[in-house]
């Protein structure tokens, strides 16, 4: 049951997208293929059918492979809560919260879980395509490594190194990686790929040959910039659109410092009649916004303080006075209430914070995390839609008597007496075409007929075509052992 691994000569070189494309390529060849990432660091998580969570990138890769996402596809997920600390998710469940220095001591015991999940995937599929994290060139982190060469050596998986030419210095990226790796790790690398080339790839022929001659590694191709990448869910908050300028109705979303599950916004960004503006730190909320979205957060009280530090609370008050609408999702929902209490210090120091006061609710953080895929019904429109919950807070109060949705027999969310402020714990709602059209119609935005999920599938097919054209996919997949 073979496997091959893509590692990066640096961070954000496009590994996640390449793995997704290769999963679709392998699936087209009739192979049962699964994605795998030993360790991911992201606050953009997907909830699996078995009630766990994995990185959103692995959920997209699973879609490319024609599979439902499962926790074994990403056995270790780190969810940053501060500059120096992160929540550690192991095989879908929270293990602990640690500071960066303490995580190094924890890594050796996590390798068993990583290899356990990998073994299950290998036994169930013809091929596993593995994605590394960061870069193996970070040799200061090699001891106890579970994400790159530590995993590749332990599992005996051959490696293809990916370099990002768009950033410049790609020759040094790849040749330099070989220079700093020890001989055992270098022996695991079978070749390289150049990614994100703009212009005429033949202009890099000499550089490509130089890398091959210097390293002795085989090149598998030069991949031009994939123009439709924006049609796929963003993995990193840095990849979210800053402004679109399509001439549509402005919907503003606040770019929190610990923004989480921000792929909620991707379907809105794809709507022809919507200009989604990600309001960056230090920028004002656009006065012309019809809707302001407070998205999810991995540190609700921390990002509430961040919101106030940007002056967004003042802008939000002006937006509300002008008759604008406000939607809070998950952590953003909690911020809209009267108070947020964290008596056990689950998201930072124990204590409480005063909310923004737009909803008459109070939130208490609790250790039992809710992780569930759900079917809901939007009460205002009657539209049914799929979504998921991923939160530790519980919110109650008078405004919950005006719920946003119904999940089974339970009322969910809250709406203000004026009807213009809404809060909900439901992620993924805008991915449903019927609900999105109904919600936007309530804001006076004409339905476009956009089929978002179909667009993602089309983009994955285009990505596979792109890789088939520019990579020697047969040779690359043949490396698997």
Task: Please compute the mean of the pLDDT values over residues 316-341 and round it to a whole number.
Answer: 98
Say if residue 242's pLDDT is above 80: no
Q: What is the CATH number of the domain that holds 409?
A: 3.40.50.880
Q: Tell me: pLDDT of 288 over 70.
A: yes
Question: Which range is least confidently modeled, 81-90, 282-291, 293-302, 376-385?
Answer: 81-90
Residues 429 and 464 occupy one common structural domain:
no
Q: Confidence band (pLDDT; 50, 70, 90) for 49?
A: confident
pLDDT of amino acid 243:
55
How confident is the model at residue 171, as a pLDDT? 97
Instruction: Look at residues 428, 454, 355 and name the one whose alpha carbon lies nearest to residue 395.
Output: 355
More confident residue, 224 or 86: 224
Is 447 in contact with 432 (CB distance < 8 Å)?
no
Same domain, yes or no: 176 and 275: no
Residues 108 and 142 placed together within one structural domain of the fold: yes
* Structure confidence at residue 329 (pLDDT): 98
Element of type H or E holding 385: strand 384-396
Weakest-pLDDT range from 116-130, 244-258, 302-316: 244-258
Spatial separation of the C-alpha atoms in residues 119 and 3, rounded to whole Å: 11
pLDDT category, 247, cuts 50, 70, 90? confident
CATH number of the domain at 191, please.
3.40.50.300
Instruction: Say if residue 472 is in the same domain as residue 431.
Output: no
Q: What is the mean pLDDT of residues 402-430?
A: 97
Query: Is residue 105's pLDDT more than 90?
Result: no
In contact, 252 and 418? CB cutoff 8 Å: no
User: Are 178 and 189 spatial neighbours (Cβ–Cβ below 8 Å)?
Assistant: yes
Judgement on whether residues 270 and 175 belong to the same structural domain of the protein: no
Q: Are residues 469 and 380 part of one domain?
A: no
* Residue 389 to residue 26: CA distance in whole angstroms: 32
Q: Contact at 8 Å (CB) between 188 and 153?
A: yes
Phi, psi of 80 (to 5 degrees): -60, 130
Q: CA of 98: how far to CAs of 80, 86, 103, in Å?
A: 10, 6, 6
- Residue 241 CA, chain-centre distance (Å), reads 14
pLDDT of residue 7: 98
List pLDDT tens digits, range 456-467: 999 999 999 999
Task: Assess contact for 37 and 15: CB atoms under 8 A.
Answer: no
Same domain for 124 and 29, yes or no, is: yes
235 found inside a domain: no
The reply to whether 321 falls in a domain is yes
* 286 in a structural domain: yes
Which pLDDT tens digit goes with each residue over 50-90? 889 999 999 999 999 999 999 999 999 999 877 767 889 99
User: How far apart are alpha carbons 170 and 210 in whole angstroms?
Assistant: 11
| pTM: predicted TM-score of the whole model, two decimal places | 0.92
Measured between alpha carbons, how far is residue 432 from residues 84, 251, 452 in Å? 36, 18, 8
Calculate mean pLDDT across residues 112-127: 97
In the chain, DSSP finds a helix count (H) and a strand count (E) of 14, 26
The three-class DSSP label of residue 176 is: helix
Mean per-residue pLDDT, 321-341: 98
Residues 371-390 have a mean pLDDT of 95
Provide the domain limits for residue 82: 3-230+458-478
Q: Give me the residue label for tokens 């020759």.
A: 171
Question: Looking only at Cα atoms, what is the longest distance across the chain?
Answer: 70
Residue 239 lies in a domain: no
Residue 214: predicted pLDDT: 97
Classify 230 as helix, strand or coil.
Answer: helix
- CA-CA distance, 377 to 403, in Å (whole number)? 11
> Residues of 231-257 as b/e, b for ≥16 C-beta within 10 angstroms?
bbbbbebeebbeebeeebbbbbbbbbb
Question: Does position 328 have pLDDT exceeding 60, yes or no?
Answer: yes
| Lowest mean pLDDT, pick from 131-140, 153-162, 235-244, 396-405 | 235-244
Assess whether 297 and 338 both reside in one domain.
yes
- pLDDT band for 236, please (50, 70, 90 cuts): low
Task: Write out the E strands in 49-155.
Answer: 53-55, 76-80, 85-90, 93-99, 127-131
Percentage of the chain exceeding pLDDT 90: 86
Give the position of tokens 């989604």: 276
Counted domains in the chain: 2
Residues catalogued as catalytic:
330, 427
CA distance 176 to 276: 40
Looking at the fold, whether 275 and 205 belong to one and the same domain comes out as no
- Confidence band of 103 (pLDDT split at 50, 70, 90): confident
Residue 432 phi/psi, 5° resolution? Answer: -85, 120
pLDDT digits (tens, 9 = 90+) for 172-191: 999 999 999 999 999 999 99
Measured torsion, CA atoms of residues 68, 72, 75, 80, in degrees rounded to the nearest 10:
10
In a domain, residue 241? The reply is: no
| Beta-bridge mates of residue 224 | 197
Hey, which residues does 45 pair with through a beta bridge?
55
- Whether residues 463 and 368 share a domain: the answer is no
Calpha distance 87→178 (Å, rounded):
32
- Predicted confidence (pLDDT) at residue 137 exceeds the cutoff of 90: yes
Q: What is the pLDDT of residue 241?
A: 57
Share of the chain residues as helix, strand and coil, in percent rounded to the nearest 5 = 35, 30, 35
Residue of 151, 5, 138 lying closest to 75 (CA atoms): 151
If asked whether residues 346 and 433 sit together in one domain, one would say yes
User: Across residues 325-342, what is the average pLDDT?
Assistant: 98
Higher pLDDT residue, 1 or 327?
327
How far apart are alpha carbons 336 and 422 in whole angstroms? 9
- Single out the residue of 330, 208, 316 nearest to residue 258, CA to CA: 330
Burial class (CB in 10 A: 0-12, 13-18, 19+), 140: exposed
Which tops the pLDDT comparison, 196 or 230? 196
Do 361 and 392 belong together in one domain? yes
Average pLDDT over residues 125-138: 96
Has residue 240 been placed in a domain? no
Round to whole Å and give the CA distance between 395 and 358: 14
Per the domain annotation, does 243 fall within a domain? Answer: no
pLDDT higher than threshold 90 for residue 410: yes
Quick one: residue 169, left, alpha or beta (phi over 0 = left, psi -120 to 50 = alpha)?
left
Assigned domain for 202 exists: yes
Does residue 240 have a pLDDT over 80?
no
């Amino acid at each position: 049951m073979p496997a091959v691994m893509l590692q990066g000569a640096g961070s954000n070189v496009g590994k996640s997208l390449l793995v997704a494309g290769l999963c679709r390529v392998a699936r087209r060849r009739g192979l049962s293929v699964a994605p795998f990432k030993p360790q991911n660091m992201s606050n953009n998580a997907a909830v699996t059918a078995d009630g766990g969570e994995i990185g959103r990138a692995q959920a997209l890769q699973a879609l490319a492979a024609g599979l439902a996402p499962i926790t074994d596809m990403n056995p270790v997920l780190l969810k940053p809560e501060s500059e120096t600390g992160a929540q550690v998710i192991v095989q879908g469940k929270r293990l602990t919260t640690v500071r960066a220095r303490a995580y190094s001591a924890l890594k050796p015991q996590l390798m068993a879980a990583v290899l356990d999940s990998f073994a299950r995937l290998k036994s169930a599929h013809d091929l596993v395509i593995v994605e590394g994290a960061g870069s193996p060139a970070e040799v200061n982190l090699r001891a106890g490594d579970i994400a790159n060469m530590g995993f590749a050596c332990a599992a005996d998986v051959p490696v293809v190194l990916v370099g990002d030419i768009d950033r410049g210095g790609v020759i040094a990226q790849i040749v330099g990686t070989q220079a700093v790796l020890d001989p055992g790790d270098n022996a695991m690398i079978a070749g390289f790929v150049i990614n994100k080339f703009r212009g005429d790839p033949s202009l890099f022929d000499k550089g490509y040959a130089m890398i091959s001659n210097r390293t002795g590694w085989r090149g598998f191709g030069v991949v031009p910039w994939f123009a439709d990448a924006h049609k796929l869910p963003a993995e990193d908050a840095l990849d979210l659109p800053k402004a679109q300028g399509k001439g549509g109705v402005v919907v503003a979303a606040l770019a929190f410092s610990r923004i989480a599950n921000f792929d909620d916004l991707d379907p809105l960004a794809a709507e022809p009649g919507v200009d989604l503006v990600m309001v960056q730190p230090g920028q004002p909320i656009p006065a012309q916004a019809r809707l302001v979205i407070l998205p999810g957060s991995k540190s609700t009280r921390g990002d509430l303080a961040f919101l106030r530090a940007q002056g967004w609370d003042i802008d939000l008050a002006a937006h509300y006075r002008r008759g604008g609408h406000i939607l809070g999702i998950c952590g953003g929902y909690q911020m809209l209430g009267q108070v947020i209490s964290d008596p056990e210090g689950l998201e930072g120091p124990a204590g409480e914070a005063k909310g923004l006061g737009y909803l008459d609710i109070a939130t208490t953080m609790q250790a039992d995390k809710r992780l569930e895929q759900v079917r809901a019904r939007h009460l205002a429109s009657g539209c049914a839609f799929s979504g998921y919950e991923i939160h530790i807070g519980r919110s109650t109060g008078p405004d919950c008597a005006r719920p946003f949705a119904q999940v089974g027999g339970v009322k969910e969310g809250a709406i203000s007496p004026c009807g213009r402020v809404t809060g909900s714990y439901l992620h993924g709602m805008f991915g449903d075409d019927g609900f999105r059209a109904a919600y936007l119609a309530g804001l006076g935005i004409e339905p476009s007929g956009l089929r978002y999920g179909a667009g993602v599938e089309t983009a994955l097919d285009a990505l596979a075509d792109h890789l088939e054209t520019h990579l020697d996919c047969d040779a690359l997949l043949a490396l698997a052992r």
